[in-house]
Amino acid sequence: MLRHLLSRCVIPRTAGYRITPRAFESTLAAESTDAQNNNAAAAATAQNTVMYPYFVNRTRFQSLPVYLDIKNGKTRKLTLVRRIEGDIHAIHKELSSHLKDATVQIKSISNQLVIKGDRSKEVREWLTKKGF
């Protein structure tokens, strides 16, 4: 399945940098518990891959798509998470459990999450910790 998803990715190369493909997979350096059960070739790998049912694409400048929206004369602040692919309900459940006192809403047509208040720093840290 991963090979199929990576075959759809285009890797543009320019003089100064290379953009790596991402396809619903994030890598986290974690303890290798599954490597004990796998064969010796799998145990030699240094990183575990964690598959999530969702993926948050980065922008073209490789930053996370977490934005602060200020409305009603600077009295209402909303945090937006855009560019979500896959199961939006799974990321909603995990993010709302991480942000205990925040109201997280789903915009299913545009695949976005709307969080009440300025929680952009916490959401960016959470996504970075997840490996996005």
Distance separating alpha carbons of residues 99 and 93, to the nearest angstrom: 10
Strand arrangement of the beta sheet that strand 104-107 belongs to: 66-71, 76-81, 112-116, 104-107
Residue 18 has pLDDT above 50, yes or no: yes
pLDDT at 51: 87
The 10s digit of each residue's pLDDT in 95-105 is: 999 999 889 99
Residue 12 has pLDDT above 90, yes or no: no
pLDDT at 102: 86
- The crossing angle, in degrees rounded to 10, of helices 120-130 and 88-98 is 120
